[in-house]
A and B are shown apart, each in its own frame.
Chain A
Amino acid sequence: GDSVTQTEGPVTVSESESLIINCTYSATSIAYPNLFWYVRYPGEGLQLLLKVITAGQKGSSRGFEATYNKETTSFHLQKASVQESDSAVYYCALAFITGNTGKLIFGLGTTLQVQP
């Protein structure tokens, strides 16, 4: 079936260090789903961080990047230098948009803790 697997947390890094959160997906319903990273900051709702709808393209936002790799079915999230304010839960998701319907399939979420 369709699924998303991401790095099991919590992930703890020090401020200014680099970060990678792995995400791989399995898509049997459709060849090229849309891919997303969502983030939930403490006390807040889920927010869209970035999305990529075309295989081979890279999305970026707030210093984070992710590249849609259809060969490895991956969409890893990276940041060169994290800040304490990046501490949050990060969710990788894929979506199938067909006609007037669309649903997101989420990973379990990865808790990131950035130490000062």
Chain B
Amino acid sequence: GPKVLQIPSHQIIDMGQMVTLNCDPVSNHLYFYWYKQILGQQMEFLVNFYNGKVMEKSKLFKDQFSVERPDGSYFTLKIQPTALEDSAVYFCASSFLGDTQYFGPGTRLLVL
């Protein structure tokens, strides 16, 4: 099936620093998403992005978070500054029509 890639697979960072998580979505997809999963908890929606704009975000999408996809390259999630509670696995997803979402393998972020 369609493949979504995420880079890096693991990231360790000191609290207060900036981190950028990269997602390479399926090439013809138009809708992009980030989800967050803390160990032992459900995967939770953060944000979706279409036509260069954030369409919807959850309360987990703090002011320190931002997303962009400059010139059709990677879809990125930036956290600046990071906090301890940002430690989680972050999953990117993409969709062609906004219905079925295809997921990447996740980036495991550890904030120390």
Contacts and interface: CB of A to CB of B under 8 A. Distances in A.
A51 B50 CA distance: 23
A61 to B, nearest CB: 11
A102 B103 contact: no
Interface stretch (B13-21, B41-49, B63-71, B72-80): B41-49
A34 B99 contact: yes
B55 A48 contact: no
Most buried by A among B31, B43, B95: B43
Interface residues of A, number: 24
Interface residues of B, number: 28
Contact of B99 (A45, A91, A95): A95
A105 B50 contact: no
B43 A101 contact: no
A30 interface: no
A68 interface: no
Given A45-B4, A91-B43, A101 B105 contact: no
Contacts of A48: 1, 100-102
Contact of A102 (B31, B104, B105, B106): B31
B90 interface: no
A48 B96 CA distance: 14
Nearest to A34: B99
A101 B100 contact: no
A32 B41 CA distance: 25
A47 B92 CA distance: 12
B31 to A, nearest CB: 7
Given A102-B31, A102-B48, A45 B43 contact: no
Interface string A10-44: 00000000000000000000000010101000001
A106 to B, nearest CB: 5
B106 A106 contact: no
Interface in A81-96: 91, 95
A100 B98 contact: yes
Interface of A: 4, 34, 36, 38, 44-48, 51, 53, 91, 95, 97, 100-109
